[in-house]
């Protein structure tokens, strides 16, 4: 039986957890039906390594930015630097960026400044913004909306696990919500309800691997192949087969991440 065609829209293949295992990790993903992956660079000194991974594997793309929890630890990136990186054919998104006040609320001001720079780069390049949001819903909604009103851009709320209010604010701007393994956890019913109430054409799938492995691998190292388990949970929320849900979310990915889209012959 042929597995469904699934996209892992957010993983971290350069992290030490995968050191020396990438060929097997990629092969396992493909065997599970995960044909495309976006590996995310969270610190720009790691960009060459992340780029090299994308260049080495068919179906692997990359994005780069400064993670909000690192915003105070390294110099602010410039719009020009992000625009220059975006010229690479496999560079498909800006980020991840965002706000995280759970552990790093003391750097809120610099996080906000960094986020605005990334928004401007997304506006300049036309590539989607990749947002990390934690314990900062009000500021996040305000900054995303402020930027969008100035000049529209596209965006995905990566590993979405915030409030229904932030989810609605993002959807109202035409943004996407990305479903991770958190949606499979028994205590995540409120999150599942948020996804179930969202339009099907605004949902993406991801692992955020090596973190947040879905049931039945919760607590273990996550990897792109496990996107298939999150797809099964998502399919149930929408009353679809896994194949149809995977097809819908892959079409959503193509519409948002246009540089990584599957080109269909006319």
Give dist(CA 136, CA 161) in Å, integer.
Answer: 12
pTM of the predicted protein model: 0.96
**Tell me, what's the pLDDT at 137?**
98
- pLDDT above 70: residue 135: yes
Taken in order 188, 25, 11, 242, the sign of the CA dihedral is negative
* Number of C-beta neighbours around residue 144 at 10 A: 25
| Mean pLDDT of the 97-123 span | 98
pLDDT-based confidence at residue 180 (cuts at 50, 70, 90): very high
The residues pairing with 99 across neighbouring beta strands, listed in sequence order, are 133
**Tell me, what's the pLDDT at 58?**
96
pLDDT digits (tens, 9 = 90+) for 94-109: 999 999 999 999 999 9
Give dist(CA 213, CA 183) in Å, integer.
Answer: 10
Give the chain's mean pLDDT: 96
Provide Rg for the chain, Cα atoms: 17
**Tell me, what's the pLDDT at 3?**
65
In the chain, DSSP finds a helix count (H) and a strand count (E) of 10, 8
- pLDDT above 70: residue 157: yes
Half-sphere exposure of residue 80: CA atoms within 13 angstroms, side-chain side: 0
Cis amide leading into 216 (omega within 30): yes
Give dist(CA 206, CA 201) in Å, integer.
Answer: 15
- pLDDT above 90: residue 1: no
- pLDDT above 50: residue 266: no
**For the chain, first and last CA: distance in Å?**
28
- pLDDT above 50: residue 68: yes
* Class of residue 116 by CB neighbours under 10 A (exposed 0-12, middle 13-18, buried 19+): middle
pLDDT digits (tens, 9 = 90+) for 16-41: 999 999 999 999 999 999 999 999 99
Angle at 227 between CA 232 and CA 234, to 5 degrees: 30
Going by DSSP bridges, is the β-strand pair 34-41/155-157 parallel, antiparallel, or unpaired? unpaired
**Tell me, what's the pLDDT at 262?**
77
pLDDT digits (tens, 9 = 90+) for 203-242: 999 999 999 999 999 999 999 999 999 999 999 999 999 9
What structural domains does the chain harbor? Answer: 6-260 (3.20.20.140)
Largest CA distance in the chain: 53
- pLDDT above 70: residue 2: no
- pLDDT above 50: residue 265: no
Give dist(CA 120, CA 80) in Å, integer.
Answer: 10
| Mean pLDDT of the 244-248 span | 97
């Amino acid at each position: 039986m042929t597995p469904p065609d699934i996209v892992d829209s957010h993983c971290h293949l350069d992290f030490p957890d995968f050191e020396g295992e990438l060929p097997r990790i990629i092969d396992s993903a493909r065997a599970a039906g995960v044909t495309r992956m976006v590996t995310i660079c969270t610190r720009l000194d790691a960009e060459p390594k992340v780029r090299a991974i994308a260049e080495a594997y068919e179906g692997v793309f990359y994005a780069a930015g400064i993670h909000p929890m690192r915003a105070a630890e390294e110099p602010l990136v410039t719009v020009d630097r992000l625009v220059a990186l975006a010229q690479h054919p496999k560079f498909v998104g800006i980020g991840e960026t965002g706000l995280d006040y759970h552990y790093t609320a003391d750097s809120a001001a610099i996080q906000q400044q960094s986020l605005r720079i990334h928004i401007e780069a997304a506006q300049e390049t036309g590539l989607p913004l990749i947002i990390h949001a934690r314990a900062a819903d009000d500021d996040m909604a305000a900054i995303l909306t402020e930027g969008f009103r100035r000049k529209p851009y596209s965006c995905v709320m990566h590993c979405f696990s915030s409030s229904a209010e932030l989810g609605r604010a993002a959807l109202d701007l035409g943004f996407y919500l990305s479903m991770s393994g958190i949606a499979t956890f028994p205590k995540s019913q409120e999150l599942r309800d948020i996804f179930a109430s969202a339009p099907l054409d605004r949902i993406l799938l991801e692992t955020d691997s090596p973190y947040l492995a879905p049931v039945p691998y919760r607590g273990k190292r996550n990897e792109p192949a496990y996107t298939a388990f999150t797809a099964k949970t998502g399919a149930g929320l929408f009353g679809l087969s896994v194949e149809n849900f995977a097809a819908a979310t892959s079409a959503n990915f193509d519409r948002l991440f246009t540089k990584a889209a599957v080109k269909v012959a006319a």
